Structure 1
Amino acid sequence: MIVRIMGEGQVRLADGHFAELDRLDDELLAEMETGDDTGFRRTLLALLGRVRELGEPLPDDSLEPSELILPAPDASLEDVRSLLTEDGLIPPA
């Protein structure tokens, strides 16, 4: 699956990693619901960090259709809310 991190670029990520990412997504949603901005920021950075770590970066001049778009690391709680679906940021595996 091709994942785009807004403002950074794209990575190719194996489907087998989505269970771990979904757990972080659930944690992020819970923090958003309670308005825990510190927890939200920590979990967003952890989620993006795992995507970068587990994914294979695509060349900067490559423009593949992204199947998943994640917010930039400096995105606000409101920015992320605008990207949410009923499943959160990460679709269920």
Structure 2
Amino acid sequence: MIVRILGQGQWEVPDEEVGHLNAIDDQVASAVAGRDQAALSASLRQLHDELEAVGTALADDELRSSDLIIPGPDATLDEVADLLQDNGAGEGLIPG
């Protein structure tokens, strides 16, 4: 799976890691629902750290179609809420 972190590039993530990433994604959605910017920032940082730990960064000149787009760690509640709405109700940033 190819994941784009806005402002940071693309990462290739093994499919078997998606379940663990979904648990963190649930924390992101919960923070947005509760309008808690501090919790959102912490959850996004955790999601990014995990993506970077389990994934492989693609070279800047290697452009591939992204399966998922994750906001940057400094994203606002409204920015993430818009992304969640675009993904569909209940899906989170990472479907599944």
Q: TM-score, normalised by structure 1?
A: 0.94
Question: Structure 1 unaligned runs (5+)?
Answer: none
Runs of 4+ in 1 over 3 A off after TM superposition: none
Please list every run of 5 or more consecutive structure 2 residues that lacks an aligned counterpart in the other structure: none
Listed one character per residue, the Cα deviations across residues 51-74 of structure 1 (whole Å, up to 9, x for unaligned) are 111100111101000010100111
1:51-90 alignment, distance < 5 Å? 51-84=51-84, 85=87, 86=89, 87-90=91-94
CA contact (8 A) 2:12 2:55 kept: yes
User: How many Å separate the matches in 1 of 2:56 and 2:8?
Assistant: 13
Identify the match of residue 91 of structure 1 among 83, 90, 95: 95
Paired position in structure 1 for 2:15: 15
Count residues in correspondence: 92
Deviations 1:1-27 (A, max 9, x none): 111001111010001001111001111
Tell me, what secondary structure is at the counterpart of 1:46? helix
Task: Compute the RMSD of aligned alpha carbons.
Answer: 0.8
TM-score by length of 2: 0.91
